[in-house]
Amino acid sequence: MSLVGELFFFMGLQIKQRSEGMFISQEKYAKNLVKKFGLDQSQHKRTPVATHAKITKDTVGTAFDHKLYRSMIGSLLYLTASRPDIAYVVGICAQYQSNPRTSHLNAVKQIIKYVHEATNFGILYSYDTSSESVGYCDADCACSTGDRKSTSGRCFFLGNNLVSWFSKKQNCVSLSTAEAEYIAAGIGCTQMIWMKNMLNEYVIIQGVMTLYCDNLSAIDISKNPVQHSRTKHIDIRHRFIRDLIENKGLTPISSASVEILLVESRSLATAISLMSERRLEIDSLIRHLKTFVPSSSQGNPSID
């Protein structure tokens, strides 16, 4: 191993050393992605998903080349390594790779046009922060119109620094919003346990874990050991949350305002104002998003 100087580029990630911290982005990759699919001359979009549309299974629309669609999805999935703001909608679009239709293509193009508008977005890792791990979880209940399964969203911080995020469809059907949120919290706990064990190996000792959820019913279920008729059907694999709390491995789950819960970005079909106005509020709160002026790019044939 030899010292080769300051790190600027690693595994497709651009690294910029700043006085306040280290900024990681994929600006160059994002620009090449937009150009690759011929959308660099298209109008920018302010949100990664249209506020008036819902991405669902389409049986009547015109079929689209599944190879090109998969290429677009694969490129966007790689971009989520530094862009949690598109993780949710990319995951939804990825569910239709076997038989994509023009409606799904339009949704993917919307994401790429949003990326074009925000190629310079990334994650700032602050030097001046604690090493305490905190998790946030949320769920979009029965959002899949095909099988009515919910989607979980989780993000995890080390101090002020966002270090892990997920958006994934749950593998079971929830009968209520509280159940969907409780399952999301359980999945979040498993990730926090893994993070805690890994950090302990690096002698970054973690104390009692902290998890936030925005559903009061799910929080009450996690605290109440009594079996009720409305919760008796919840699979036992999700009930280890209670054991963690009772064994002092997890602080009682706390509520978090929807307005400041970062994981709400997994449902970015909300109004444009949430994307444009709340972005600055979230930025000042957890300092995870920073922007830099992008350089100009050349045109390319469009698939519009």
Predicted pLDDT at 256: 64
Give CA–CA dist 18/127, Å, rounded.
Answer: 10
Predicted pLDDT at 124: 87
Predicted pLDDT at 49: 84
Predicted pLDDT at 245: 78
Best CA proximity match to 211, nearest among 201, 229, 223: 223
> What are the phi and psi torsion angles at 295 (to 5°)?
-85, 165
Tokens of 89: 């909608």
Predicted pLDDT at 209: 86
Q: How many residues belong to the chain? A: 304
Best CA proximity match to 25, nearest among 293, 297, 304: 293
Give CA–CA dist 42/269, Å, rounded.
Answer: 21
Predicted pLDDT at 27: 92
Asked if 139 and 184 count as a contact pair (C-beta separation under 8 A), the reply is yes
Compute mean pLDDT per 10 residues along the chain, 304 residues long, and list them. Answer: 76 86 92 93 86 81 91 95 89 91 93 91 85 86 77 87 86 84 87 90 87 86 68 64 77 62 44 48 46 41 50
Number of H helices, E strands in the chain: 8, 9
Predicted pLDDT at 269: 44
Predicted pLDDT at 39: 93
Among all chains, which residue has been given the structure tokens 């099988």? Answer: 147
Indicate yes or no: pTM above 0.85. Answer: no
Among all chains, which residue has been given the structure tokens 């949003």? Answer: 114
Predicted pLDDT at 21: 87
Domains in the chain: ranges and CATH: 9-123+266-286 (no CATH), 129-255 (3.30.420.10)
Asked if 164 and 157 count as a contact pair (C-beta separation under 8 A), the reply is no
User: How many C-beta atoms surround the C-beta of residue 216 within 10 A?
Assistant: 11
Helical residues (DSSP H) of the chain, grouped into ranges: 27-36, 66-79, 87-93, 102-117, 177-201, 216-223, 240-246, 272-286
